[in-house]
Amino acid sequence: MDLSIIMENIERAKNTTGKTNCIGFALFVVEAIDSERYIGRTENDPEAKIVDQYLSEMEKVENVELGDLVVLRNDRGTKMVQHMGIVVDLNPGPVICHRPCLYGEIKLQRNFSLLIADYQELVECLYKVNIIVEFYRP
């Protein structure tokens, strides 16, 4: 996907009002969904199943490129998505653009290892699981 379109969509997302989260933001930016919105991630959320449906339509990749989705999942059971973002730079990279929390401000995370460590600590505390990092090419 063209980086200029991704950056344009990120700018559009800055004007989002209403309920949204990291998953809705990431899927909107790569144009998997038409408008940014909250997309649940727990087994009880009706929309949670569509996340894997959207991801199944994308190529899972090992070599990261600009515009790829980064997906953090737990490593057990349903392998629930914990967080999503978009790769917007590769130097010192990858640099991830994401919404760190529900209704959160859009941020650039320049330290990818710190992002992983933060979510690893959170999911260990809440769910007693580890994080799996995946990349998908829209």
Q: How far apart are CA 107 and CA 116, in angstroms?
A: 15
Structure confidence at residue 79 (pLDDT)? 80
The more confident residue out of 114 and 44 is 114
Rg (CA), the chain: 14
The stretch 106-113 carries a mean pLDDT of 87
Looking at 14-130, which runs of residues are DSSP E strands?
59-61, 69-74, 81-89, 95-98, 107-109
Q: How confident is the model at residue 102 (pLDDT cuts 50, 70, 90)?
A: confident
Summarize pLDDT for 45-95 with one digit per residue, the tens. Answer: 777 778 888 999 999 999 999 999 999 988 877 788 889 999 999 987 799
Nearest to 15 by CA among 4, 28, 3: 28
Q: Assign residue 71 a region: left if phi > 0, alpha if psi is -120 to 50, beta otherwise? A: beta
Q: Does residue 112 have a pLDDT over 90?
A: no
- Where does the chain have alpha helices with state H? 3-13, 22-29, 48-56, 112-127
Structure confidence at residue 134 (pLDDT)? 95
Side chain identity at residue 67, one-letter code? G
Q: How far apart are CA 55 and CA 81, in angstroms?
A: 11
Summarize pLDDT for 4-53 with one digit per residue, the tens. Answer: 999 999 999 998 878 899 999 999 999 999 999 999 877 677 777 788 88
